[in-house]
Structures are given as structure tokens and as C-alpha cells.
Amino acid sequence: MAAVGSGEVQKLAVLFERHHRGLFRYFVSMNRNRELSEDLVQDVFFRMLRYRASYDAQQSFTAWMYQIARNASVDQAQKRRGEVIGIDEFTEHKPDLSPGPEESAVRGQDLRLLRLALDRLPADKRELLVLSRFQGMKYDELSTVLGCEVGTVKVRVYRAMRALEQAYLTISGEKTA
Amino acid sequence: MNCDLARLILPEYLSQSLGESQELAFAAHLATCDACRAETERLGSLWRGLALLPDTLPEPGANVRDRFYESLAAYRHGLESAPKHGFKEKLAALWPKQAAFQMAISFALLVMGIGVGYEMQREKPVQPVVGSELAQLRGEVSNMRQMVALSLMQQQSAGERLRGVSWAYRVESTDTEVLSALLTTVNNDDSVNVRLSAVGALHAFGASPVTRAAIVQSIRKQTSPLVQIALIELLVDLKVTDAAPELKRLASDNTIDLSVRERANWALGKLLQ
Ligand SMILES: [Zn+2]
């Protein structure tokens, strides 16, 4: 017990390897700033150590981690209140658009519009879709992360999808007009 | 099933997470309701599109991984090795509860281990690892950054100590342990580079009277004019007007390097205007 064995360190590394990309995508979807998001990823792993006592083994680990991620994000926003945060353009990163099994899904230009639509949503709706769609979170996990009832989550996800559709149609209209 | 209920479970239907009976009921409703069927198609297309969006996002930079492993390495350094000039004694001076500190980190990493194990095998109950020897541990690992900074600042290689100082930029400005380690570095580190960057890191701690007094006192302890000038400039940045008498003495002290005396004069002008 006196020293940290390599085993434990490896386990922490496993957590990092498994989750840091997902966390980064969550942050970057919310704040559109690469550097801030990288700092936040780092911060989450610090906080997991710091708040480890709050981890309840009955609870989903992912839900716990994203609770921490949200807090980190809120704290950072407060710290930087008044600062102008740069919005990075991510245009250089093109998705693989070769026809895949999801033939019916929106593609190419449509995907770009969809991302613009998502960016245009209010933060709470965007967050809900990012967590459920990018991170594959279930409703019960979302209810833990967001601190509301599962029933409320269902209503909010549906509303967020409708809002996304509205934003998508609006942007498509702007582009073709 | 009515339309309201169908809408509520639509996202679950799209993510194929409905139970069998609910899914059947939903499908039955779609068969009889054009509005819900159309909506399911429209939203379904967006829903599938959302899953493709993460690929359009940038990847985290390699520095994220570097920083993470650097901090882990620093832990192990601090815990497994005892580098030059009595690392443990120094650490004990910084933390009276050094043993608790070591245990706390072991404990923290163990808890993380539980997290991993739990994730890998959710169906299995988590084994309680917290034994009686750990249960008494209440020494809070308040801040990993603090530990990394402190640990790296004790290392043998100047490069690692420099990294330690760079970590000191990331701690809370109220962190007195890191502040005292920075002051020790400013006054005693063998490397001018490390001392210079520690002076830079003191800026964030400038609100504390301890810092302000320590900067003034440090100038005479320095052997390098570069560091002395950096300290004097820091006094100006932090508007330490109390430093004026000492700056006057420095400016007229012939044993001090000329460039330092000139800088002290310049600082006096700045601070007294
Ligand atoms: Zn209907």
C-alpha cells in the first residue's frame, strides 16, 4: 500500500484511454473551442480523483463522469466570465462520406447543415442530444447527469429533436434561398 | 397507444432501446397514424445523422495524452523514488501529513480501479476494497495539479523542475503549498532557467502579501542579474509600492550589478508615478 503499484496506474490509464476522446467531443460540441476542451478533459481526470468519494458503485460510471464534466464546464465558464472565447472552425475535418450501411442517413452537405443546426440549438438542448447521441447515453443515465426524472428526460429529448428539425429546416431554407 | 405517448418514446424507438412489447405497440400505432409515421421518418433521418456528426469533430491534440501521462508519471516519481537532497524530508516539510498523502493517492487510484472494474463487468458486484487501514484515511487529495507541481519541482533534472513550475500555473492562486514551493525554487534552485520561470509563475500569486514581501526579499539573495531584473519587473507588474525603499537601496548599492541598479531606478519611477 505504501506505493502506487503499476497495476493501479494502468487502470487509471485505461479510463483515460477509454473516455478522453468522448469527453473531448462533448466539450468541443458545447464550447466549440479546442484548447478549452483539452483543458477540460484534463480537469475531469483531476476531478475524478478529487471527488472519488462521490462515486457510487451502483451508479453508471459514465453518468458520474459526465456529471463531473458538466461541473468542470460550468466552473470554467464562471472563471472566464467576461472573456471572449474564440470559436474554432472545424472545417478541415471532413467525415468519411463513402456510402455506408446507413444509406438513408443525411450525408455530405446535409451533414454539414445538421451540424450547423445543432450548433444553433440552445445549450441545454444541444447537450441533451450530444450526450444521448454522441455518447450513447441511456435515459436513466441522462436523468442522473442532468438531475431530473426519466420522464422529464424523455420529453426533453423529444423537444430537442423537434427543435433540431426546425433549425435544420431553417438553415436549409437559408442555404437554398 | 395515442400520439402523445408515441412521441415520448419516439427517440427510444429510434435508438432501439424500447422493450419488445412497447416496440410492437409503437409499430402498431405507426401503421394507423400517418402523422406519427411521417414524423418518425423525418426525425429518424436526423437521428441517424447525429450519430455521424462526431466524425466531423476534431480529435483532441496529442498534448492531452502527454499531459495526462506526465501527471501519472509525476505521481509515481513522487511515490516510488527518493531523488536528491532528501525528497521525503522536503515533502514532509511541505506536508506534515506526508504518510497520509501517500496513502491518499494510493487510495484514490484504487478507487479509480474500482471504477474500471465496475465498468468492465457491470453484472458482477463490486468488491469492497476499502479496508480498515484505508477507512481511517481522511487526508483529502485536494488537488492533483498541486501534487504534480510539487512533485516535479523536487526532481533532479532541471527539465522536470521546469515542467513542475509550468504546472504551478494551473493551481489555484490561493494554494499556499505551491506558493511556498515556488518561493523555495526562486530562492534556491540551481538553474537560472528554473528560477526565472518560477518568478513568472509567482505572478498569479501576487495578491498575497506573503508573495509580495517574498519577492522583495528575494532580490538580494539572487546571484543572477537576470533573475533580479525579473523580480524587479514583477514588483512593477504587481504594483508593489511598498517595495520603493528597498528599490532605492538597491539602486544606490555599488555591490549590485549595474543593469540591476538601472532597472531598480526604472521600477521606482514606475511605482511612484
Ligand atoms: Zn400518432
Burial code (b: 16+ CB inside 10 Å, e: under 16) for B163-199 equals: bbbbbbebbeeebebbbebbbbbbeebeebebbbbbb
- Span(s) in chain B for CATH 1.25.10.10: 158-272
**Closest to A113 measured CA to CA, from B272, B60, B53, B261:** B53
Domain extents in chain A: 1-90, 101-171
How many residue contacts between A and B have a Cβ separation below 8 Å?
Answer: 184
* CB–CB contact B102 A90 (8 Å): no
- Ordered alpha helix ranges (H), chain B: 3-14, 20-32, 34-52, 62-80, 87-94, 98-120, 132-135, 144-153, 158-168, 176-188, 192-202, 209-221, 225-237, 244-251, 258-272
Q: Is residue B106 scored above 60 in pLDDT? A: no
- By percentage, how much of chain B surpasses pLDDT 70? 74
The nearest CA of chain A is from the CA of B130 a distance in Å of 11
ipTM above 0.85, yes or no: no
- Chain A positions touching B147 (Cβ under 8 A) are none
Most confident among A43-57, B146-160, B244-258 (mean pLDDT): B244-258
**Global model pTM greater than 0.90:** no
**In 3-state terms, what secondary structure has residue A149?**
coil
Rounded distance from Cα B31 to ligand 1 centre (Å): 9
Tell me what the mean pLDDT of segment B12-21 comes to: 87
pLDDT category, B158, cuts 50, 70, 90? confident
pLDDT category, A50, cuts 50, 70, 90? low
Is B47 an interface residue toward A (CB < 8 Å)?
yes
C-alpha cell at A141: 443515465
The fold of the A1-90 domain, in CATH, is Rna Polymerase Sigma Factor; Chain: A (1.10.1740)
- Chain B positions touching A50 (Cβ under 8 A) are 140-144
pLDDT tens for B225-256 read: 889 999 999 999 999 999 999 999 999 998 88
Q: Tell me, rounded to whole angstroms, the distance of Cα A162 from its chain centroid.
A: 19
The fold of the A101-171 domain, in CATH, is Arc Repressor Mutant, subunit A (1.10.10)
Q: Which residues contact B268 (CB under 8 A, 6 or more apart)?
A: B244, B247, B248, B251
So what's the pLDDT on residue B6?
A: 92
pLDDT category, A85, cuts 50, 70, 90? low
The nearest CA of chain A is from the CA of B79 a distance in Å of 6
* CB–CB contact A55 B143 (8 Å): no
Instruction: For domain B158-272, give the CATH number.
Output: 1.25.10.10
So what's the pLDDT on residue A88?
A: 67
The nearest CA of chain B is from the CA of A145 a distance in Å of 17
- Chain A positions touching B114 (Cβ under 8 A) are 55, 57
Q: Tell me, yes or no, if the two domains A1-90 and A101-171 fold the same way.
A: no
- Ordered alpha helix ranges (H), chain A: 6-31, 34-50, 61-79, 109-120, 123-129, 139-146, 150-176
More confident residue, A139 or B146: A139
CA atoms within 13 A on the CB side of A152: 10
Rounded distance from Cα B7 to ligand 1 centre (Å): 8
